[in-house]
């Protein structure tokens, strides 16, 4: 499998994958009225003008993962880390996040968000070094957790290892 830059010609395949990948998230929130499932092909294709897209492809060129990001000032906004359900839990989401971050060498900060109920997404963000910045209520049942990752001179110090206490 290989990560490559995606192009507008990939929009239909990425949108189909996005709608498949977000089915379980929609169930967490009681229905299909979440933005990844409501996005249109025209809207996604238009995003290619301002957003850097990556795709993970199999040797047969099937798109099984994608991520996108765009930079405003020194901050990169990472969006829609998606992986085909049958390929999840194999490190693909982690690889996609690391690769999109590498595309923005001059960034000082990365930001993304995940739904509070989407524990898998929250864990992925934490695993790749993001820390909670704030929580924002989007509707009566949706709370987004916004997370950031500082890099370079602005990076967080590494977490200290837990201290083990002796029982004796």
In a domain, 107, yes or no: yes
**Residue 148's pLDDT is what?**
95
51 lies in which domain range? 2-154
Within a domain: 163: no
Sequence-distant contacts of 117-125: CB under 8 A, at least 24 apart = 117/28, 117/29, 117/143, 118/25, 118/28, 120/88, 121/25, 121/81, 124/81, 124/93, 124/94, 124/97
The arithmetic mean of pLDDT across residues 145-161, rounded, is: 74
Q: Is residue 22 part of a domain?
A: yes
Mean pLDDT of 91-109: 95
User: Considering the domain boundaries, does residue 29 fall inside one?
Assistant: yes
**93 assigned to some structural domain:** yes
Specify the CATH number for the domain of residue 62: 3.40.630.30
Task: Return d(Cα 52, Cα 78) in angstroms, integer.
Answer: 10
Cα distances from 159 to residues 92, 125, 126, 134, 163, in angstroms, run 24, 16, 12, 20, 12
Task: State pLDDT tens for residues 40-86.
Answer: 999 999 999 999 999 999 999 999 999 999 999 999 999 999 999 99
Residue 167 maps to a domain = no
Pairing of strands 143-150, 2-5: unpaired
pLDDT in tens, 120-145: 888 888 999 999 999 988 877 788 88
Phi/psi class of residue 120: alpha, beta or left (left: φ > 0; alpha: ψ in -120 to 50)?
alpha
Residue 78 lies in a domain: yes
Which segment of 28-37, 92-101, 133-142 scores lowest on mean pLDDT? 28-37
- Report how many domains make up the chain: 1
Residue 39 resides in a domain: yes
Q: Output the pTM of the full model.
A: 0.84
């Amino acid at each position: 499998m290989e990560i490559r830059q995606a192009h507008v010609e990939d929009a239909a395949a990425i949108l189909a994958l996005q709608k498949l990948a977000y089915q379980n998230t929609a169930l967490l929130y009681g229905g299909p009225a979440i933005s990844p499932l409501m996005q249109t092909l025209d809207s996604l294709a238009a995003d290619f003008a301002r957003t850097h897209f990556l795709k993970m492809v199999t040797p047969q060129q099937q798109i099984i993962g994608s991520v996108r990001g765009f930079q405003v000032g020194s901050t990169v906004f990472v969006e829609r880390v998606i992986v085909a359900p049958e390929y999840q839990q194999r490190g693909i989401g982690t690889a996609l996040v690391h690769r999109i971050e590498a595309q923005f060498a001059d960034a000082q900060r990365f930001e993304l968000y995940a739904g509070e109920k989407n524990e898998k997404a929250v864990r992925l963000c934490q695993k790749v070094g993001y820390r909670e910045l704030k929580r924002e209520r989007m509707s009566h049942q949706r709370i987004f957790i916004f997370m950031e990752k500082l890099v370079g001179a602005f990076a967080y110090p590494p977490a200290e290892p837990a201290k083990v206490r002796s029982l004796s």
